[in-house]
Structure 1
Amino acid sequence: MNSLWFYACLAFTLLVSCVKHQALADGLGVDKVYHPYVQPLEQEIELRFISAEPEGEASSVQQYLLAYGQSLNEQWFAEVYLVAEKLAGDNLDLEAYELELKRQLTEQGEYSADYALLFELEKQKNEDIWEFATALIVEKEWGRWSATLNAFIVSEWGDDIDDELESKLNLQARYRYSAAIEPALELYMSQDSKALGPVCMGQLRWQKQRLNWEAGLIFGLDNETPDTTFRLLLEYEF
């Protein structure tokens, strides 16, 4: 595999992300950008918070995700999520369960870019709604810079929803200033969500434990996307 493969995959995923479908899956357009790496013997607890503020607070939504993850071997990583949401004026309620599997396809630095596949299965708690997503993850480094691409195909089905199919694209350009601070710019694109904004992330280490953190403020680029979305992620690895 060489640089030609990287650009071929990039062109393919950009093409897939632009495919027009009849309907879209529900959910927030801004989430996080996944990286293709699996660390053997790793365990983690993840807390994710996303707050979307469209024009007018009456339609704001907050989402909380709590997860436990563990590497199964040197290539596979599994994670189980609880997903809760809070709409404006309502209480925080558990909404869904999610299982996630990541398969690292190449060793870091083995080729001109690093590759992985991501699989997600989600079930709504109180409704017969299922969602399955598959993503290609590609990451390439240029000195202190790295670019990461997540290209998703998402399918929803069940008795309480019309069958839906969508594609979406998440992109991140990151500057590795230091282990503790890495500024980045993220772009999220789907049929009903287009957003761009700055993110800062980093890692704190002590002994064999690590705390990864990310915080970003993402701005909507069209009338269908919330004006601002704040996202916060904490990962405790041990």
Structure 2
Amino acid sequence: MSEQARAAVAVLSDDLRRRMYDFIRRADRPVTRDEAAESVGISRKLAAFHLDKLVAVGLLSAGYGRPGEPRPVGRAPKVYQPTGLDVRVSIPPREHELLAGILLEGLRVQGPEETGREAALRAAAARGRELGAAERDRAKPGRLGAERALTCAGQVLERHGFEPVRASPTLLRLLNCPFHPLAAKDPDLVCAINHAFLAGFLEGLDASTAEAVLAPRPGACCVELRGA
């Protein structure tokens, strides 16, 4: 989860803010402070405080006056509307969008003599290589020994919800499957995609001293990274 998403979740943990945000989202038009205050039964001043919190984390945008309405004499009232920020919370984190993107790319690039599974695995490997190469270019880690490769991999995969744990200097286990619960519907296909993605990631990272190995364990990711 991004820092912005974490901040948004923290702000929405307050019941008043959450109710006010729901009201503004459902209004389908810019809402004034007075309207927001009335929707949850609080003062205009207190509503302004909560609305500013929602603006600060990017859930709402603020402006003056409603589009298409005559401008009143004096200063137009401040109005609020949703920004379109999409905040989704999953514990542990899930990466359904990543899997969906891989499957869509597989369909897009599928060759005439290629099965859907083959195309999906090819797309997964390509997506993994892209992620690994981007990290290599960003961090410029130099030549990677097995331990350094797993450390670098763990830092990146943590951001994608794999929950890596260093079981030994040359073994990185992944406690969470970011593709769960979709993996339960077709574990053979999803685990193969996951394996291709992680193998491609190591390749893009230029970590020839590490390998992605299928090692299914109950309640964990089906792949682990080992020093080669």
Q: Shorter-chain TM-score: what band? A: under 0.3
Relative to its length, the structure with more helix (as a share) is: 2
Normalising by the residue count of structure 1, what TM-score does the alignment of the two structures yield? 0.24
Relative to its length, the structure with more strand (as a share) is: 1
Normalising by the residue count of structure 2, what TM-score does the alignment of the two structures yield? 0.25
Larger radius of gyration: 2
